[in-house]
Amino acid sequence: MGAFSKKVALYIRVSTDAQFEEGYSVDAQKEKLEQYCKLKDIKNFEFFIDGGWSGSNIDRPEMKRMIEEITEGKICAVVVYKLDRLSRSQKDTIFLLEDVFNPNKCDFISLNENFDTTTPYGKAMIGILSVFAQLERENIRDRTRMGMYERVKAGLWMGGGRVPFGYDYDKNKDILIPNKHAEDVRQIYDLYLQGYSTTQLANMFDVANDKHITNILDRITYLGKIQFRGEIIEGQHEAIIDEETWNRVQIERQKRSTKNAITSSYLLTGLIYCGKCGARMRYQRWGKKGLKIYCYSQQTSKMNLVKDPDCDNMRIDACDLEDIVIKSLFDFTKNITSVGKTIDIKSSAISVLQQKYDTIAAKIKRLYNLYAKSEDELLLETIEENKDELIKISKALENEKKTSNVALEINEKHEIIKNLKNAWESMSMMEKQHALRLCIDRIEIADNVIDIKYNF
């Protein structure tokens, strides 16, 4: 290894569940690493200690600091008690060796395995060990998955992780139990069917964001079933949503997805419905140049879209319908633009909260570093207090972001409505379709009666 003109990094990692395990505690690792430095007559060394961090990845504060100092040329060697203290991931181990240590002329020594990358043997054996460690983890994972599949086949829940909103996990019975949020789930389904958007629902309930609402609406778990590896299995847990409601929501999800995904060159595609049978209506070419709007129930080639095979709704000229809708839209939005106001988005509030969040997060990191060195119980109390404060700020920050997102959505609608009539002729087909979908929920046609339902 040669003389150490730069400092040597003594890296220690202890996971949360092994802090007091014999041979793995911070003190035990420090003692062995200090003995090594005495034996090698290394005077210039520094400890880098990640206490309470998993080895599944390298996203750890002291690991990041050590990598930064290696790339700055401040460290000539990294010494660990055991290879898995560096990382339990083959990918990360190879990354550190090949992309961090070697390019920056930084040696790596693992005491337990007696490996030293200054020798060809050490380099080869570390790679081999990493491969076999990864292989063993994959074997364990496969065995775990097989056991999990047997549990799920029996209708039991997969485990305590990622429990769906509205349920708690009963470890004794291995099933899900509805909790106080079960009623929230029912309300989310009901309100969605009433026309509320996922963004609106996210602001009404104690959930992370609109994507969380989407996950709730798509989860078949609420039917008392379990989805595992593409299979739907009858679970032993109580259903929160009845099958009819769940199916209606899935149909509505598909309808809204179809409406928002603009793939047609026709202006009103996805918005028009039969006022007699409730089926969708579509454009159909009529002669060489003409276009008609007619009910899908009158087209037997797509039986899944038929609502009433005997529907006698008349066909309407597409150009006439588009003219009527556009005129109605201009007249309707003219009354709105006079009272519409742009909502002020308080980006400064988000900046202040984000700054507070970053400051406290950095403070917690420093406190953990101090605790790793002194193990002072008073520091743990301070850490918990700061964690509670961080959670409060995080919630406030999330609420501000939600408010801003809603404001942006409203402002977008307002700007489109305000300039709609003047800009219409210069807008592309896609822009016109987008504007219509922002303003109109659906258009129902029953013979010569046209009912346009607006979103506001």
Catalytic residues: 15
Which candidate, 38, 31, 28, places its Cα nearest to that of 8? 38
- Distance in angstroms (rounded) separating the CA atoms of residues 162 and 181: 15
Q: Which structure tokens are listed for 421?
A: 């009539």
- Distance in angstroms (rounded) separating the CA atoms of residues 456 and 289: 35
- 198-217: b or e for each residue (b if 16 or more CB lie within 10 Å)? beebbbebebebbebbeebb
Cα torsion 34, 40, 42, 46 to 10°: value is -40
* Contacts for 5 with CB less than 8 Å, ≥ 6 apart: 76
- Distance in angstroms (rounded) separating the CA atoms of residues 422 and 427: 10
- CB-CB contact of 436 with 452 (8 Å): no
Q: Which structure tokens are listed for 415?
A: 């700007």
- CB-CB contact of 277 with 307 (8 Å): yes
| Long-range contacts of residues 98-107, Cβ cutoff 8 Å, at least 24 apart | 100/67, 100/70, 100/71, 101/70, 104/70, 104/71, 104/73, 104/75, 105/76, 106/70, 106/75, 106/76, 106/77, 106/78, 107/1, 107/76, 107/77, 107/78
H or E stretch at 176: strand 175-178
| Long-range contacts of residues 28-31, Cβ cutoff 8 Å, at least 24 apart | 28/81, 29/81, 29/85
Identify residue 158 by its one-letter amino acid code.
M
